[in-house]
Structure 1
Amino acid sequence: MIIQGVAGSGKTSIALHRVAFLLYRFKDRLSAKNVVILSPHKVFGDYISGVLPELGEEPIFEASLADIAEAQLAGVIGFEADKDPLIVYDAVWAQRVRFKSTLAFVKMMDDFIKQLPAIAFAPADYSYGRFTASKEMIRARFLAYDSYPVKRRLQMIAADIYDRFATDNFMEDELPKSGTILKALHKMLKVKNTLALYKEFYKRSNIAQMFVMPAKKTLEWADVYPFLYIRAAFEGLRESEIIRHAVIDEMQDYTPVQYAAL
């Protein structure tokens, strides 16, 4: 459901009243912990967090884009806070931000992700004793699992190879463990982590000048959600088993790639 209206018309209040109604109507199946409210800034979050208790409902988890990024990227890579273009003026930086806020940028990323089988993975024969899984079989399974992140596909292929070896093991020979097979499959990756793949995206797209790291292992804010988008396709993202519904406040303030990653 999309609620549209001019500034100050009560869009957020309507959305929160709708949430309160659903929590009451489906209280046997839905609770406050199953809903998250995304807001672009803490100002909106502070307002939102106080409305539902006033409506007789429990407080709902409220998060900003930065909160989600921190949860996903903790221990992976750091990032700068968003900058206010009215305070920090840097024409080159502003150009990068504008470019990464376009639908054209998302299309470039989608085109790159479609090429991941060739860019990221070079299948080879895998042998263990008298058992062999051909590179053709591995490639076919890799393509068959195209709805999954690359590294998740490798886990599934490792399980497939083990099952095939076990089926053919009429002599009851020693079989490799799934972890051993997975380690061999990981060696077939051309890139080992999301950052390397993200850099490859800019290189292959001939826009290397659009990627600048302000410090070691630190992304500019404009790169955070593009990075997450690539990471989702390559390594996968953490998923909540609790959250079932999301309310997005001030949705006009989000960029296409942020929506794509969400």
Structure 2
Amino acid sequence: MEDVITEAAPPSRLLEEDLNNFTQPSPLLPSPFLLFRHPQQPLKPNLLIIAISPPSLSLFHKFLTPQTLTASLILPELPFSNPNKHTLDFHSLSSNILIAAVRSPIPDVRAYAVADVLLSDKIQPESVIILDSIKPMNHRGMLSSDEAVAFKLESFAERKKVDGEKLLDGLEYYPSGSVVDGLGAAILGRCQILKIRAGLCVSWPQFDSSVVFLLKDLLRGLGEFDFGLSDDEVLKFGRSKDHVFQSHLYI
């Protein structure tokens, strides 16, 4: 006779998706919202730069001051004890250029919700540049911490522009078969839906002063930036924290 206590339970006659019908659905997370420093009309910059990667935040650090702060994007599900941990801050570089600084990672499950609020009726840019990092597990090919590389992806509206007019002119396209996910991909997808000119730059290593130099040269071509960074200031960003990584992602 079988021991009903120690014997493994028989397979369920219900499919796993059927079993989920008996569990309570997870509560919906509240929508992110924008908090403006002063009441004003919708922001309509010629260019919105979204700094997600650590090197891009280092590059723009001198512009990210309380005096230039225009608005913040709030994730209401997180505590308000430290606003810098859960806000995406908008800073006005000029009347035509707005910088969005992502100071801490946005969870992937919230990326599309953040992108919807970021590009809404309150913020309507003519063009968008997104500065993100390459995740090694998403890259098809070889990556080394000794060499700085950057690639681009574009919305259809940007891809129609001829060379010399592109936002990220001079960069090669992200290798076929490689993947981009998270907030950067969500914002690029939102730009595609809204038919906004947008370029997504992904760089590697994720932490390295050489990438700061690379981005500095890339954005200098836009002709409206004066970073005022000396080589010594850029080098304060430090050497790479990324270990040597070799990726073989094939789809």
User: Could you say which TM-score interval applies, normalised by the shorter chain?
Assistant: under 0.3
TM-score (norm 1): 0.22
Of Structure 1 and Structure 2, the greater helix share is in: 1
Q: Which has the higher contact order (CA 8 A, sep 6+)?
A: 1
Q: Which structure: greater strand fraction? A: 2
